[in-house]
Structure 1
Amino acid sequence: MSAQEQRRAIFISGGASGIGRAIARHFAERGWFVGIGDVNEEGMEDTLGLIEGGFKYMQKLDVRDRDEWENVLQAFSVAAGGGVDVVVNNAGIGTGGPIHELGVDEIDRCVDINIRGVLYGAQAAYQHLLKTAPGSCLVNIASAAGIVGGSGMSVYSASKFAVRGIAESLDAEWAPDGIKSCSICPSFIETPLLEGTGHRKSNESVRSRVQAAGLEITPVEEVAQTVWDAVHGDELHYLVGKTAKKISFAKKWMPGRVRKQQRQAASLLGR
């Protein structure tokens, strides 16, 4: 079998920066054919510029467009030699703030990208992952915010709870086909999202709020390694970072305490 036939292929949405970029580099360094999609073409160029060798591919992708998903994955499959082993539903945005202060457009954009984009990605990925099963995998990037909903996180938490639910449902639905489905739940990760404010009525960055709360910021490379572990493992939900693991443990064994802590945190913020 030739080296090209042995080379596996992974496609990552939201590959222009942050977690998507880290996953692309991690898999490329281990000999995979890497494809990325994003609305930010300049960012994708930067990502591919960090990958040595010629086994890389990029194409503009708005995950809210079902037809684009179909076209991009088909084109990548051809470029990769006819097979796609892994698709990573990574594209997502952060939205935060009191629910009554959010604009309808802010809510709709978060729901459309973080939920509809994941569902469309799963739909389009199925036919490709079926061809390379058993062992093919859909990886869905969720969040610790999909484990516990906190004050000012209603829309974002809703979207990430949904991602975890989608992963669980597809884990059952696709099991007879030999396709794995899982979710990755990071806590606060060192990405450009930390520099944002969460919503337009706030001037305070997410990073400053995280640091003020004394929470850890996890290196993005840990997420990439966890995705690698997920592709080669068989768990359903993967936690990344100390905060995510503590939240998951507390939610399971001390739900009353978690609820009290979240309410106290909201009171301290004047909510």
Structure 2
Amino acid sequence: MSTGSGTKRHIFITGGASGIGRAVAIYFAARGWFITVTDVNATGLEETLALIEGDAKHSHQLDVRDRDAWDVALNSANHAAGGRIDVMFNNAGIGTGGAIAQLEKAEIDACLDINLRGVLYGAQAVYPYLQKTAPSSALVNTASAAGITGGSGMSVYSATKFAVRGIAESLDAEWAPDGIKVSSICPSFIETPLLDGTGHRGENEQIRNRVLEAGLEITPVEEVAKTVWDAVHGDDVHYLVGKTAKRINFAKRWMPGRVRKQQRDASSLLGGN
């Protein structure tokens, strides 16, 4: 669905049906941008569009695992926005948790395909569009604090998020001659519906309860949206979101042995694998 076109700067958002993607869409729209939101959830996309005032908005149902679908979605968005895409927010992702020995193949494949393959496909597909709007264009990828340090039961998810940070660093160098900015954002625990899930297979307790019991911060989703804005207009490669992510990054850099011990102790308390 599209409801307008023009010469406004244009951000293409994956995972835009809820959570971080929706918050970023609202944030950029409020600052005069044309918004394209994509997701596999068509109902959620319509709900996101309804929250954005005006007609400078467009939605397209997209499964980021489908490389050919990327070309269709980007072409549609480019046309709707008057022939330009200035920013890609590669945000679509899923969580998966549990002991590696207990994860099913389908769970591993889905996490790798959406969180990693989807990011690579998106970067590859959007490159010619960002070339045209450079040097003010940007690719922003959603990583995670789980991409700074791994923890028990997080091997697959952490692998994808470490990879997303590596992709940002590689493309920052590769696309520098084109004038395209590339970065990753690393949120910790963000106030989104994902906190209402369990995170780990075989567990019934919500992530939200475990985070609060541990005394950790839950960051408002609007802070992530502001960080994406800062990434588009700044010059860093990695952006940390929330106090927890910043503490983890500091500890991993300066006290790696302590972080390792904490992760092992936490695993023991949870019963290990």
TM-score, structure 1 normalization: 0.97
Indicate the residue corresponding to 1:81 in structure 2.
82
Indicate conservation of the 8 Å contact 1:94/1:198, yes or no: yes
Q: What is the count of residue pairs matched by the alignment?
A: 268
Q: Secondary structure at the match of 1:100?
A: coil
Indicate the residue corresponding to 1:105 in structure 2.
106
Indicate the residue corresponding to 2:229 in structure 1.
228
Instruction: Write the deviation string for residues 184-211 of structure 1: whole angstroms up to 9, x where unpaired.
Output: 0000000111111224422222112212
Indicate the residue corresponding to 2:148 in structure 1.
147
Indicate conservation of the 8 Å contact 1:101/1:201, yes or no: no
Indicate the residue corresponding to 2:164 in structure 1.
163
The residue type equivalent to 2:263 in the other structure is Q
Q: 1:149 to 1:200 in 2, by over 3 A?
A: closer
Indicate the residue corresponding to 1:176 in structure 2.
177
The residue type equivalent to 1:221 in the other structure is E
Instruction: Write the deviation string for residues 29-76 of structure 1: whole angstroms up to 9, x where unpaired.
Output: 000000011000000100000000000000000000001111101110
For 2:157 and 2:68, the matched residues in 1 are separated by 25
Indicate conservation of the 8 Å contact 1:134/1:178, yes or no: yes
Q: Secondary structure at the match of 2:101?
A: helix
Q: Secondary structure at the match of 1:189?
A: coil
Q: Secondary structure at the match of 1:138?
A: strand
Instruction: Write the deviation string for residues 152-178 of structure 1: whole angstroms up to 9, x where unpaired.
Output: 111110010010011110000000000
Task: Note the aligned Cα RMSD (angstroms).
Answer: 1.0
Indicate the residue corresponding to 2:45 in structure 1.
44
Indicate conservation of the 8 Å contact 1:111/1:155, yes or no: yes
1:113-262 to 2 correspondences below 5 Å: 113-262=114-263
> Unmatched 5+ residue regions in structure 1?
none
Pairwise CA distance, 1:137: 0.2
For 2:253 and 2:27, the matched residues in 1 are separated by 32
The sequence identity of aligned pairs, in percent, is 72
> Unmatched 5+ residue regions in structure 2?
none
Indicate conservation of the 8 Å contact 2:27/2:226, yes or no: yes
Indicate the residue corresponding to 1:265 in structure 2.
266
Indicate conservation of the 8 Å contact 2:153/2:200, yes or no: no
Runs (4+) of structure 1 exceeding 3 A deviation are: none
For 1:201 and 1:70, the matched residues in 2 are separated by 38
Indicate conservation of the 8 Å contact 2:97/2:201, yes or no: no
Q: Secondary structure at the match of 1:226?
A: helix
The residue type equivalent to 1:95 in the other structure is T
1:60 corresponds to 2:61: yes
